[in-house]
Structure 1
Amino acid sequence: MRAAYRVLASLIAIAVVLQIASIALSGFTIAKDADDGTTIGSDYSNFGQSYHSMAGTAIGLLALVLLILSFMTDVPRGRVLAGIIVGLVVLQFVLAVVSFGLPALGILHGINGMAIAAVAGAASRRASSPTPVPSA
Structure 2
Amino acid sequence: MKRAYIVLARLIAALVVVQVAAIAWGTFAMLHDIDNGAVITSDTRNFAQSLHANVGYIVIPAVALIFFVVSFFLKIPGAVKWASIVFGLVALQGILAGLSFAAPVVGALHGLNALAIAGMSAAAAQRLRTTAPHDASSAETPAEYAETKARTRRFGRGRASV
Q: What TM-score bracket applies, with the shorter chain setting the length?
A: over 0.9
Q: CA deviation at 1:127?
A: 2.3
Contact 1:13–1:116, Cα closer than 8 Å, also in 2: yes
2:119 aligned partner:
118
Q: CA deviation at 1:126?
A: 1.7
Distance 1:101 1:48, change over 3 A: same
Contact 2:10–2:122, Cα closer than 8 Å, also in 1: yes
Q: In structure 2, list runs of 5 or more residues that go unmatched.
A: 134-141, 143-162
State the secondary structure of the residue aligned to 2:102.
coil
Structure 1 vs Structure 2: percent identity of aligned residues? 44
Amino acid at match of 1:111: L
Q: How does 1:59-70 map to 2 (within 5 A)?
A: 59-70=60-71
Residues 6-60 of structure 1 show CA distances to partners (whole Å, capped at 9, x for unaligned) of 0000000000011011111111011001001111002211111000011112000
Larger radius of gyration: 2
Contact 1:2–1:74, Cα closer than 8 Å, also in 2: no
The structure 1 segments of at least 4 consecutive aligned residues displaced by more than 4 Å after TM superposition are: none
Amino acid at match of 1:72: F
TM-score normalized by structure 2?
0.79
Contact 2:76–2:131, Cα closer than 8 Å, also in 1: no
Q: In structure 1, list runs of 5 or more residues that go unmatched.
A: none
2:158 aligned partner:
none
Q: How does 1:1-136 map to 2 (within 5 A)?
A: 1-56=1-56, 57-131=58-132
Q: Within 2, Cα distance between the matches of 1:75 and 1:4?
A: 13
Distance 1:3 1:45, change over 3 A: same
Contact 1:3–1:127, Cα closer than 8 Å, also in 2: no
Q: Within 2, Cα distance between the matches of 1:75 and 1:55?
A: 30
Q: Would you say how many aligned residue pairs link Structure 1 and Structure 2?
A: 133
Q: CA deviation at 1:76?
A: 3.4
| Structure with larger RCO (C-alpha < 8 A, sep 6+) | 1
Contact 2:22–2:49, Cα closer than 8 Å, also in 1: yes
CA RMSD of aligned residues (A): 1.2
